[in-house]
């Protein structure tokens, strides 16, 4: 009995929250939308569990689209975890290939997983229709505040002299994002990337802990999360992987290019449609996403999550993915980890 009562009250609380959401939506939703698309509810899939970057992005898109009334059809967010996104990727590229109502949020692993030998995902961005890039982040090369390294080239020279003397760390396995960001400058500097000593931890937080606890000399991590540690004086950021200087608290930090290493790496997040997406659906989403990226609500949503806005439409995004894929294949080949 009591158990029932608890679940009822839990449901009630959830319903109250939902009711609060939906009343807001209906009051803000105004005019009518396009005629034949969408015919029914839309779904954005986050190919991970609840709470990660993909999930938060998918929920932010769904919420803002509905709240602003850009799309009146309810947008659901579904979590499909497994294999670092590879499990759902396979389903998306085969079973959902004609489903105009199913969209997908992804980031660089869509390129990386498709091209590396181990843990390979047989499907990549070519098996989807890229609709837009929405956010961006960059990699940062970080050392402890009391580190002997003052610049990125100090680190690289030390690695060149003796690769066993410098320990790199990052929050993910070799052949994945943090590793590639960390290795990239060394690779471009002419160091054999296989010789770089890289220790992988479970997530960026643990990598920062390893750096602070003197269990790593250099870490590669997301530029957006490191600012707080820099402000507290615990760490120094040596360089960021952005094409030009960042705004805000990292504005003093040089880019790879300024340090004489001619490369860049963007940690983007974007939204994809199925490969055989109809023109109607493609045009519908292109238009809505463009409007979304210009809306005030989206800017607030980005700010709330600490994300940087970068909008690329479908065509530019696809072109960009092609270039990024080349870089990644090159890097994986140098690491002997390519497919």
Partner 1 sequence: MSTLQFLMDGFSIAFQWQNILFAFVGVLIGTAVGVLPGIGPMSGVALLIPVTATITSGMPTEAAAASSIILLAGVYYGAMYGGSTTSILLNTPGESSSVVTTLDGYQMARQGRAGAALSIAAIGSFAAGIVSLIGLVLLAEPLSNVALQFGPAEYFSLMLLGLAAVSGLAGKSMTKALMMTVFGLMLGTIGIDAVSGIARFTYDLPILYSGLEFLTIAVGLFALGEVFKTILEREHEDGTIAKIGRILPTRQDLKESAKPIMRGSLLGFFIGVLPGAGATLASFFSYIAEKKFSKTPEKFGTGAIAGVAGPESANNAASGGAMIPLLTLGIPGSGTTAILMGALIMYNIQPGPLLFDDHPEVAWGLIASMFVGNLMLLILNMPLVKVFAKIIETPKKYLLPIIIAISFFGVYAVQYTTFDLLLLLACGILGYLLVKNDFPVAPLVLALVLGPMIENNLRRALTISNGEFMIFFTKPLSLILLIVAAAWLLIPLMLKLKGRTIVLNEED
Identify residues 168-207 at the interface with partner 1 (CB under 8 A): 173-176, 179, 197-203, 205-206
Q: What residues between 222 and 251 interact with partner 1 by CB under 8 A?
A: 227-229, 231-232, 234
CA gyration radius, the chain: 22
Query: Binding partner 1 by CB under 8 A: which of 6, 34, 76, 145?
Result: 6
Closer CB to partner 1, 139 or 314, in the complex: 139
> What does the longest C-alpha to C-alpha distance in the chain come to?
71
141 part of the interface to partner 1, by CB under 8 A: no
In whole angstroms, the minimum distance from the beta carbon of 14 to partner 1 comes to 6
- 37, 56, 224, 297, 312 from 304: Cα distances, Å: 31, 11, 13, 10, 21
Burial of residue 85 (number of CB atoms within 10 Å: 0-12, 13-18, 19+)? buried
Contact between 300 and partner 1 per CB under 8 A: no
Identify the H or E element spanning 16.
Answer: helix 2-28
Phi first, then psi, for residue 112 (nearest 5°) are: -65, -50
The residues in 20-59 that bind partner 1, with binding defined as CB under 8 A, are 20-21, 24, 49-51, 55-56, 59
What character string, x for contact with partner 1 (CB under 8 A) and - otherwise, covers 94-133? Answer: ----------------------x-xxxx------------
Give the nearer residue to partner 1 in terms of CB position, either 277 or 335: 335
Q: Which is nearer to partner 1, 7 or 150 (CB)?
A: 7
- Measured CA to CA, the distance from residue 184 to residue 50 in angstroms comes to 30
Listed in sequence order, the residues at least 6 apart from 160 whose beta carbon sits closer than 8 Å to its beta carbon are 189, 190, 191
Site string for partner 1, 259-288 (x = CB under 8 A): ------------------------------
Residue 170 and residue 178: Cα distance in Å, rounded? Answer: 5
Q: Binding partner 1 by CB under 8 A: which of 33, 97, 158, 212?
A: 212
């Amino acid at each position: 009995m009591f158990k029932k009562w608890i679940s009822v009250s839990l449901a009630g609380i959830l319903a109250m929250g939902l009711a609060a959401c939906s009343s807001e939506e209906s009051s803000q939703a105004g005019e009518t939308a396009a005629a034949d698309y969408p015919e029914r509810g839309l779904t954005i899939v986050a190919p991970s569990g609840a709470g990660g970057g993909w999930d938060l992005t998918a929920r932010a898109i769904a919420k803002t689209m509905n709240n602003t009334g850009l799309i009146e059809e309810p947008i659901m967010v579904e979590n499909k975890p497994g294999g670092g996104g590879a499990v759902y990727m396979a389903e998306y590229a085969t079973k959902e290939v004609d489903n105009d109502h199913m969209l997908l949020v992804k980031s660089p692993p869509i390129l990386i997983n498709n091209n590396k030998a181990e843990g390979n995902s047989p499907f990549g961005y070519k098996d989807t229709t890229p609709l837009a890039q929405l956010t961006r982040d960059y990699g940062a090369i970080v050392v402890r505040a009391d580190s002997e390294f003052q610049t990125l080239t100090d680190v690289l020279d030390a690695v060149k002299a003796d690769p066993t003397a410098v320990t790199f760390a990052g929050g993910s396995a070799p052949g994945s994002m943090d590793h590639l960001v960390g290795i990239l400058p060394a690779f471009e500097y002419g160091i054999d990337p296989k010789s770089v000593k890289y220790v992988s931890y479970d997530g960026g937080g643990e990598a920062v802990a390893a750096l602070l606890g003197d269990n790593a000399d250099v870490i590669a991590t997301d530029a957006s999360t490191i600012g707080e540690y820099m402000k507290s004086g615990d760490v120094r950021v040596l360089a960021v992987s952005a094409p030009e200087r960042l705004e805000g608290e990292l504005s003093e930090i040089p880019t790879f290019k300024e340090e004489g290493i001619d490369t860049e790496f963007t940690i983007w997040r974007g939204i994809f449609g199925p490969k055989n997406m109809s023109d109607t659906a493609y045009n519908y989403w292109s238009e809505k996403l463009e409007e979304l990226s210009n809306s005030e609500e989206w800017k607030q949503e980005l700010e709330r999550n600490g994300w940087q806005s970068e909008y690329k439409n479908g065509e530019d995004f696809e072109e960009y993915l092609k270039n990024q894929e080349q870089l990644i294949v090159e890097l994986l080949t140098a690491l002997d980890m390519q497919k």
